Structure 1
């Protein structure tokens, strides 16, 4: 078997073993995080939440999520992904089901805070884990497949949530309460599946033939050595790197769409596109994220073939901004909704290039901390933008102004993406560290 054939066969086995489970876990994670957007269609009135109170309560998830993100990922890097990801999934599944018990604004805020703490570290943990298994030339598609899980969560989750909501009154339990209970249970079950099937390191993969296991271990070790430049990079150096900080800013701006708009999407559709029923609204909510799945697959292939991460981040963001402005100008109707959906798909397609870039110039625990910081900063957008949308909606009676703010974030994100290019080249951080040490031995 030639080296090329060995590489194809090994990566086929790795992809087939790891990616289905990881994608399913992310689908469940994202459903548990965002199903509150569908539940809100009846929950808000049932427990007396205004739009501003809903926005504030939803944003509380991101307070604890941001606080615990970096520490969680450092723990994961030190004790292994298998055990820590299983812990995350079991705890968030329990807390997510407890959302059915909220009775007003205070309890809503408390449970959202607990959910953020429980889930903290999952996404950056998986990003770090994939970088431990997929060489650079395969990483873009791996990251794309992983983030497809988030888009599929809405494509699959919104219709499922709509059907569950129809259980309203069954056993004297409200439909939105059934939604949280039923959709929280899979995370608990998957936690135990992760403990059984996930493998921490390629060298431990008994399910790979010995030759393939050796090839993958050596290939990843060579790439790590090239990035490190024979000099270890500390967590502090990774967290203060201009490349990490620019990518964090980019992801923060991107999250105006992926977090802010996602959590309000059903209400945006219902309030601005003809006031469809709750059931039809949930189905329409799936459309933008179905487009996101297709867009991410196409862009991820381009990233693996050509690299040029910054360009693959900037172009989708700029296109998203243009189409979102077009949606506002078009107003209610088919064209406005189509542009909104296309804008969402375009923005999400930038993510494979982002994580390909983030894992191209850091390794080890430093990479785990850097990836977690990028993800943490991004989630500050959820803390800030989600309640802002609610306040502006109440003040203006329309979602037009918040959508234009999100469009502005997309344009600025495109600029930041291009600015990050010089600071995220493989080996750049190690070279900067070496140069600093030579000039300042102390």
Structure 2
């Protein structure tokens, strides 16, 4: 196709990409909201869950993080299977299975059942996020990918804007139907996840060639653009999934993403209780509403910065600045007991570590193609996800060893380290700044 049809201009592609975005992003966004909510609702359940089960802080930290062991172990094989079996069946399978396990969390009444179900949740959710990142490369040319990734990343803030109050409300319904509030929360979110997974199977297409909702001309133009982009990357990408797993550029991005995820989950798992401590209240609907503030700000900043990165082509700089802001926000939240100042600092931190991620993903996807893209994207997310395992444990260790603020200081330093690595990523991966298709991103695309 790419030999017969010349690669279209960005201006010609723009309306097609908008149509694709309107079709795909709402369902992918809803899926990500539920993925993030099923992980992070544990933060809302923390106090009530520990009170009812007698779970210690150390056991909670281990269980919160152990999710990422099974998740990380199966990321690469999951993405390879998705590439072979097709996106719609694989993404739907992931959702349905993790929704079932999430609902079963209502039976986690002791340490071992808690650990087992958290590991199973990680195993069943493995491959969802890198699968979506890979899936978007099937549809969205690189020069538009930052902004589309940014829209997908609204899932994390929206999970807290709407999911936070929902989780708080369910916790306040403690005793309804003979169930604890945290049990109601796990059952409700798990059932909703299964329902959305069934819908996604009937709604998604595997790629542009299957998209009957695009006319033939638009399909040909989009496929031509994507084929030309793949051809441009072929000379620079590792050849095959296995070579991608040992490629220095891919491994460098793994380290960066690890630091990002450390900052994300080191804050996310404890944000509700941190805000509750600032305002002197228990975790319920009121605190759930307050947690929506940082995520609302994060969503606005992500929208603006992902477009700025696409418009200017300065993705590396934008990403490094975002993660630096996250470090400043996390650090600042540890220095104040004032509720307003604390909320402002947490808002800066959340805006930073959410907005950096869609811009970050434009860097490795600009150099990976085919099976290498499936394996490389999954490996980056897999190693990065281990940051979610390490973060709560490292935070707890720092606080027990050096004082109650030391955990946040450690997370801030980790985010700052990631910003430095991001800023210097061109030294490892110059391909990101020099490929012809990436230079297209420096044009103003309206």
**Do Structure 1 and Structure 2 share a fold, with TM-score over 0.5?**
yes
In 2, distance between residues paired with 1:428 and 1:154? 35
Q: Does 1:93 align with 2:88?
A: no
Q: Does 1:84 align with 2:84?
A: no
Could you say what secondary structure the match of 2:270 adopts?
helix
Residue matched to 2:281: 276
Residue matched to 2:129: 123
Q: Does 1:189 align with 2:200?
A: no
In 2, distance between residues paired with 1:422 and 1:383? 29
In 2, distance between residues paired with 1:231 and 1:95? 37
Query: What RMSD, in angstroms, separates the aligned Cα atoms of the two structures?
Result: 2.1
Contact 1:44-1:50 within 8 A present in 2 as well: yes
Residue 30 of structure 1: how far off its partner (Å): 0.8
Residue matched to 1:440: none
Residue matched to 2:396: 390
How many matched pairs?
428
Q: 1:36 to 1:415 in 2, by over 3 A?
A: same
Residue 282 of structure 1: how far off its partner (Å): 2.0
Residue 429 of structure 1: how far off its partner (Å): 11
Query: Once structures 1 and 2 are overlaid, which stretch shifts more, 19-28 or 384-393?
Result: 384-393
Residues 385-412 of structure 1 deviation map (CA, whole Å, 9 limit, x = unaligned): 21232344456662x1111001101110
Q: Does 1:405 align with 2:410?
A: yes
Contact 1:228-1:427 within 8 A present in 2 as well: no
Unaligned runs of 5+ in 2: 1-7, 436-446
Q: 1:338 to 1:180 in 2, by over 3 A?
A: same
In 2, distance between residues paired with 1:205 and 1:73? 21
Residue 382 of structure 1: how far off its partner (Å): 1.5
Contact 1:362-1:429 within 8 A present in 2 as well: no
Q: 1:217 to 1:257 in 2, by over 3 A?
A: same
Q: How does 1:192-341 map to 2 (within 5 A)?
A: 192-229=198-235, 233-271=239-277, 273-279=278-284, 280-341=286-347
Residue 285 of structure 1: how far off its partner (Å): 1.9
User: Which of the residues 58, 65, 73 maps onto 1:67?
Assistant: 73
Contact 1:54-1:387 within 8 A present in 2 as well: no
Contact 1:257-1:344 within 8 A present in 2 as well: no
Contact 1:92-1:119 within 8 A present in 2 as well: yes
Residues 296-331 of structure 1 deviation map (CA, whole Å, 9 limit, x = unaligned): 111110111122221111111112222332332233
Q: TM-score normalized by structure 1?
A: 0.92
User: Which of the residues 155, 159, 164 maps onto 1:158?
Assistant: 164
In 2, distance between residues paired with 1:314 and 1:230? 24
Q: 1:426 to 1:82 in 2, by over 3 A?
A: farther
Residue matched to 1:8: 14
Query: Once structures 1 and 2 are overlaid, which stretch shifts more, 114-123 or 296-305?
Result: 296-305
Q: TM-score normalized by structure 2?
A: 0.92
In 2, distance between residues paired with 1:360 and 1:378? 18
In 2, distance between residues paired with 1:296 and 1:412? 21
